[in-house]
């Protein structure tokens, strides 16, 4: 049995996952990074992407996240996500709906801030489309 | 003297009121359970966010961004008043509004400028009478079923935008902290600039920041604000249901008392009428 680290995936609404894992790959703002036990202390922001959870030498769970923060200590990895969806629930119809909504928001945007946020939502929905099943 | 028919009608009406209040009590009880669960589920995120923030704030060089360090002024205050959208929950809304009024008066006495952001229809309705021109905005679209994070985010975004536009220096939330179904305490909490939780000395290890610590802090702070708002909304939702449950419980009890009293009066009146009729018959018979 390989060494494990404790992974926690937390969204504002609830605790999604809290379990010992062998490795986790997190979509950091400056690129995907893998976290193994005894990783150095790290605090990173996340970009839209997929978290891969490895147990028993294979990917056991995959979550799509829209953004958030990851805190890594030697023994644990805490991921605070804005929104996380198990990859299996990410359907094409769902993504298309998200994209349409984001585009509608873009059209309705009045201020600069609104425009920036809508653009973010579009980027997010497009990134999601890559992983849709 | 009320007639028998009047009394019957009143008893029937109180009975149907009682049915309504006891149904509302049941509904509030089940909603309360749901709201409490939601508040509990949101706790881990807030805790970890706090830990990260205290780590970060400890390591950043002097001050940090204005959301943490303040604008250096203390002139314009934003008061975020969180109430329910609906009434019929005892003193819940008025307690919060009273707390808010106290705060507003204090600030005005100190010669500060006050702006009010109302979250919830009841707060706006109450404050509108005295502070109409201080209310800058109202949010009433929340908590249809349970409080969603996206709804809290709308409020937080509003606050962040206002802060960035330099519209206020200090923001304080007023909401009811949930203690139990019987008691909820109206509370003030400062959210901008955010008071950094005390850092535990053991966690002073040096972190690597990706990208820089200031960038992380810049995105962490608005998020933290949203979390604080979310937490307050959840507490408020639980408090509202708790207060509603208690209020409806005592309303049901009052209705029961009232029905008992009215039934007694009804029976007495009926008996009096029968006696009166008997007396009339007897005295009529005697007269012959």
Question: Hey, what's the torsion of the CAs at B123, B192, B213, B51, to 10 degrees?
Answer: -70
Lowest mean pLDDT among B76-85, B214-223, B237-246: B214-223
| Residue of B210, B228, B232 best to disrupt the A interface, most CBs of A under 10 A | B210
A43 with B48: Cβ contact below 8 A: no
Whether pLDDT at B105 is above 80: yes
Q: Read off the pLDDT of residues B173-190 as tens digits, 9 standing for 90 and up.
A: 999 988 888 889 999 988
What Cα–Cα distance (Å) separates residue B181 from each residue in A96, A104, B69? 43, 42, 37
Q: What is the mean pLDDT of residues B221-230?
A: 88
Question: For residue range B126-142, what is the model confidence (pLDDT) as tens digits?
Answer: 899 888 888 888 888 77
* B63: confidence class by pLDDT, cuts 50, 70, 90: low
Q: How many residues does chain B have?
A: 288
CATH number at residue B109: 3.40.1380.10
Total count of domains within chain B: 1
CA pair distance B31, A42, nearest whole angstrom: 40
Average pLDDT value for chain B:
87
pLDDT of residue B14: 96
Contact predicate B193/B170, CB 8 Å: yes
Query: What are the boundaries of each domain within chain A?
Result: 5-87, 90-129
> Could you report the per-residue pLDDT of A33-85, keeping only the tens digit for each?
999 998 888 889 998 888 999 988 888 888 888 888 998 988 889 999 988 88
Judge whether B142 lies within some domain.
Answer: yes
Q: Is residue B5 in some structural domain?
A: no
**Can you give the pLDDT at residue B210?**
78
- The pLDDT value given to residue A2: 62
How far apart CA B95 and CA B263 sit, in angstroms, is 36
Scan residues 12-51 of A and list those with Cβ closer than 8 Å to B: 12-15, 28-30, 40-45
For range B21-31, the mean pLDDT? 94
How far apart are the C-alpha atoms of B84 and B136, rounded to whole Å?
A: 18
Q: What per-residue confidence (pLDDT) applies to B198?
A: 62
* CA–CA dist B61, B209 (Å, integer): 14
Note down the domain range covering B163: 22-247
Annotated catalytic residue: which of B39, B89, B171, B227?
A: B89
Which residues on A lie below 8 Å from B216 (Cβ)?
Answer: 43-45, 69
Separation CA B28–CA B282 (nearest Å):
58
Which position has the token pair 């002097």? B62
Per-residue burial over B46-68, b if 16 or more Cβ lie within 10 Å, else e, is: bebbebbbbbbbebbeeebebbb
Check CB contact under 8 Å for A45 and B219: yes
Task: Residue A10: list chain B partners with CB under 8 A.
Answer: 44-45, 48
A55 Cα to chain B: minimum distance (Å): 23
Taking CB atoms and an 8 Å limit, are A69 and B149 in contact across chains?
A: no
In a domain, B276, yes or no: no
Based on the residue annotation, tell me whether B89 is a catalytic residue of this protein. yes
| CATH fold of A5-87 | ATP Synthase; domain 1 (2.60.15)
Query: Which residues of B lie closer than 8 Å to A, measured between beta carbons?
Result: 38, 41-42, 44-45, 48-49, 51-52, 55-56, 148-149, 152, 157, 161, 205-211, 213, 215-216, 219-220, 223, 226-227, 230
Residue B11 predicted with pLDDT over 90? yes
A123 vs B247, higher pLDDT: B247
Chain A: residue whose CA lies nearest to B41: A14
Q: What pLDDT does residue B251 have?
A: 95
Question: Region B210-223: what's the mean pLDDT?
Answer: 82
Q: Is residue B45 part of a domain?
A: yes
Model pLDDT, residue B110:
92
Interatomic CA distance for residues B97 and B86, integer angstroms: 14
Say which residues have a Cβ less than 8 Å from residue B214's Cβ, sequence separation at least 6.
Answer: B60, B64, B65
| Closest listed residue to residue A55, CA positions, set A24, A88, A89 | A24
Distance CA(B176)–CA(B122), nearest Å, equals 14
- DSSP class of residue B63 equals S
- Residue B49 CA from chain centroid, whole number: 24
Q: Check CB contact under 8 Å for A41 and B207.
A: yes
pLDDT value, residue B60? 61
| pLDDT at residue B108 in the model | 93
């Amino acid at each position: 049995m390989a060494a494990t680290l404790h992974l926690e995936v937390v969204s504002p609404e609830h605790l999604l996952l809290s379990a010992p894992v062998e490795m986790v790959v997190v979509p950091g703002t400056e690129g995907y990074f893998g976290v193994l036990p005894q990783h150095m202390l790290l605090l990173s922001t996340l970009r839209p992407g997929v978290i891969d959870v490895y147990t028993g030498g294979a990917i056991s769970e995959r979550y799509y996240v829209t953004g958030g923060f990851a805190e890594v200590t030697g023994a644990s990895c805490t991921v605070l996500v804005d929104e996380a969806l198990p990859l299996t629930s990410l359907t094409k119809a769902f993504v298309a709906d998200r994209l349409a909504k984001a585009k509608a928001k873009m059209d309705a945007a009045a201020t600069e801030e609104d425009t920036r946020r809508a653009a973010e939502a579009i980027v997010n929905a497009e990134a999601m489309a890559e992983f849709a099943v | 003297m009320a007639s028998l028919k009047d009394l019957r009608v009143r008893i029937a009406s109180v009975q149907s009121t009682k049915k309504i209040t006891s149904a509302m009590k049941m509904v509030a009880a089940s909603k309360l359970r749901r709201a409490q669960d939601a508040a509990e589920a949101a706790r881990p995120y807030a805790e970890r966010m706090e830990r990260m923030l205290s780590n970060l704030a400890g390591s950043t060089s002097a001050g940090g961004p204005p959301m943490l360090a303040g604008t250096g002024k203390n002139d314009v205050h934003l008061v975020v008043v969180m109430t329910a959208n609906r009434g019929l929950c005892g003193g819940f809304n008025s307690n919060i509004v009273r707390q808010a009024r106290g705060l507003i008066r204090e600030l005005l006495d100190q010669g500060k400028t006050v702006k009010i952001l109302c979250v919830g229809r009841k707060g706006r309705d109450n404050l509108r009478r005295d502070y109409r021109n201080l209310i800058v905005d109202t949010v009433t679209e929340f908590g249809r079923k349970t409080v969603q994070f996206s709804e809290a985010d709308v409020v937080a975004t509003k606050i962040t935008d206002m802060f960035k536009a330099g519209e206020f220096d200090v923001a304080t939330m007023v909401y009811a902290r949930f203690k139990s179904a019987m008691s909820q305490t109206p509370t003030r909490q400062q959210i901008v600039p955010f008071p950094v939780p005390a850092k535990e000395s053991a966690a002073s290890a040096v972190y690597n920041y990706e990208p820089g610590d200031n960038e992380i802090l810049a995105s962490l702070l608005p998020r933290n604000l949203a979390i604080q708002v979310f937490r307050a909304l959840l507490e408020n939702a639980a408090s509202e249901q708790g207060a509603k449950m208690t209020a409806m419980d005592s309303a049901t009890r009052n209705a029961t008392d009232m029905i008992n009293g009215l039934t007694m009066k009804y029976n007495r009146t009926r008996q009096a009428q029968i006696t009166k009729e008997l007396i009339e018959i007897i005295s009529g018979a005697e007269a012959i």
